[in-house]
A and B are shown apart, each in its own frame.
Chain A
Amino acid sequence: MRSTVWVTVARREIVTKLTDRTFLLSTFGLIGLLAVVLGVQAFMANRTETYTVVTSSAPAAQMAAQVELVAEATDDKVSVTVTRAADDAAATRALRADEASVWLHEGGDGWLLTGKADVPDGVETFAATAIREVTLGANAAAAGTSVEELVRGSALSTAVLEGDAEKAGVAQALGFALALLFYLASFTFGYALANSVVEEKASRIVEIIATKITTRELLAGKVLGNLVLAFGQMAIFVAVGLVGLTFTEYDRFIPAISGAVGWFTVFFVVGFGLLACLWAVAGALASRTEDVQSTSTPLTFLTTGVFFGALLATGTAKTVLSFVPPFSAVIMPVRVLEGSAPWWQALVALVILVVAAALVVQVAARLYQRSLLQTQGRLSLRQAWSTPD
């Protein structure tokens, strides 16, 4: 039965948080924001641009039909419809009345595309292609040859040796998102944990609790409870993100990133646990809620440092940091995502992180235990370490 006390502590942490209105509002607010951003993305991606081409002569109408075919074949997000005007004046009127996007007619040294205020890029490109193909075909036939003959050997294909620029872009964006998630989680839940520790100190209930369970059990329960909360919140964010992603044009990358998300999960749990113990110590060093701000300053720097480290580090620095706790908690999964770290490197970094976390837990438990019953003012780390228990 005793082995479950820390579960009781963890459950209280969780229930208290889940019934806290501020926490619920911020969580649902963020989920809502995420949904809106992804919704806009999906809307933009699925929107079809329709252009109307007006013509006022039979050859132009024929050419416009060709433009429609090219548009259809090239881009499913752009469609072209063709209307016919009685004469040039009627076509101009249609343009002015916004009934047509462009007016295709003969003029100059070939064809002329007239717009009201501008000629949309999409239509211009498709029109140029269609006109070139049609004219090229006619000219080739007149010269007694064919388009195929003329362009033989001019085909240009592309190939890349490493990766795929678009995939790298996605990896970078996702890396940023994961680093941000870790930062937000460890900061908000870390700060909440520190406050929940100092609340017990300030209200003195810790003196009753400490006669019933060991301070280690209390620390373990608090860290575990906040880990579950942070992880749960993050899982919801990631799930909403992934579901949202399937509605956007980036859905083809989901299989590629799921492996990295797996690594991220493991690193997140261990890394968060490490930082959470330190946040608990920051709370224990304070005696009043007002003190937490100053006792947690070094941690604020560390947590922010991890975030910016993940964002800004490149080359060798990035490789080195990907093994150094707590930076490794974010940077290594990002490297796995980019494909720049093989699985064994991730495993080595994880082992180092676990060992570091175990050490931090030992040190934190001692600091926590010794400062927990000191209710007069702030303690320095040195005082907390050397205070007799």
Chain B
Amino acid sequence: MGSGTEAGPYRGVMTGNGAALDVEGLSRSFGDLRAVDDVSFTVPGGLLTGFVGGNGAGKTTTMRMIMGLLALHGGEVRWNGAPITAGDRRRIGYMPEERGLYPKQKVLDQLVYLGELSGMSRADARSAVMVTLERFDLADRAGERVEKLSLGNQQRVQITAALMTTPDALILDEPFSGLDPRAVDSMTDLLREHAARGIPVLFSSHQLDLVERLCDRLVILSRGRVVASGSVDDLRSRGPVRYRTTLGGDAGWIRDVGGIHVVDLDGTTALVEASDPPALQRLLRAAVERGDVLDFARHVPALSEVYREVTA
């Protein structure tokens, strides 16, 4: 179990309770392509951190570097403030993007094998596997070959492989892809449960709605660089303060109000930024003089808007 609670040199950005995983200045090239470029972020213990970015943004490469599957061309991965070791990595539950199990081996046998490779005894691995499979209602399928299971069940076996060791951290590459809505819910519960143990949980996804609903923090990656990171509220309120207003008539005249910048205009509705508070008051007064004001409110962008903006 992670036991990084003692006061050390490390202080997380947003400390949950317990261990933390830090990525500092990570870089990696493939030939001329700089796939990951000076990426830094923290995965605090006890929180769910979402890792977001388009295809080819560098999420999988970063996760593989964290797991030691790819050599680092620059930077460092730190576990509880110290450079991560092979032993630390063995205690991390990892689910790769491309799912893989021995298709012809029985579910129980290969999970026990993976548990043993993680350093568990045969007996411990066995009971841990059974407990986790029970959770997924798969205990009675333990004696079957993986290839006989449905894809959804294979996915559950895969996540069992990552969770059964009671890991010190979770690094999951697209854990929700291929899951039906019910399975998404049980996966969500499971991730929350593990985060509640105080361990850092990092998972990648390109389903923004899911990430917004689920995550405590998120890291947005674009073309190999971190373009934004922080809590979801943080990110949504980080941009310039904007107001949305809907008038009784055409809103085109707003463009001419001094100190007001129109971000978006659509008939009677306008999205604006004000250079200073008095400008906003001037706008409101002018609007009331001209006619009805149906709506005037602070506009907090949805995560998807933030995402589009930072990755543009």
Contact = CB atoms under 8 A, between A and B. Distances in A.
Contacts of B95: 208
A206 interface: yes
A186 B135 CA distance: 45
A212 B90 contact: yes
Contacts of B90: 211-213
Nearest to A9: B117
A257 interface: no
B89 interface: yes
Interface stretch (B101-109, B183-191, B210-218, B267-275): B101-109
Contacts of A1: 119
Given A203-B101, A203-B102, A389-B71, A209 B117 contact: yes
Interface string B96-135: 1011111101000010011011110000000000000000
A205 B114 CA distance: 10
Chain A contact residues: over half helix, strand or loop, or mixed?
A: helix
Given A203-B100, A203-B103, A208 B92 contact: no
Nearest to A1: B119
Given A203-B103, A207-B98, A208-B96, A373 B69 contact: yes
A2 B117 CA distance: 9
A16 B103 CA distance: 12
Nearest to B118: A212
Contacts, number: 63
B67 interface: yes
B70 A8 contact: no
Interface in B59-100: 64, 67-71, 86, 89-90, 92, 94-96, 98-100
A211 B94 contact: yes
Nearest to B89: A211
A43 B139 CA distance: 56
A16 B104 CA distance: 10
B161 interface: yes
Contacts of A388: 71
A35 interface: no
A9 B102 CA distance: 14
Given A203-B103, A204-B100, A210 B69 contact: yes
B114 A211 contact: no
Contacts of A8: 113, 116-117
A199 B96 contact: no
A211 B69 CA distance: 7
15 contacts: A8-B116, A9-B117, A203-B100, A203-B101, A204-B96, A204-B98, A205-B100, A205-B110, A206-B100, A207-B98, A208-B95, A209-B117, A212-B90, A212-B117, A213-B90
Per CB-CB distance, the 4 closest pairs between chain A and chain B, nearest first, are A204-B100, A205-B100, A212-B117, A207-B96
Given A208-B96, A211-B67, A211-B68, 18 more contacts: A5-B117, A16-B105, A199-B102, A200-B100, A200-B102, A203-B103, A204-B98, A204-B99, A205-B100, A205-B101, A205-B102, A207-B98, A208-B95, A208-B114, A212-B117, A212-B119, A213-B117, A214-B86
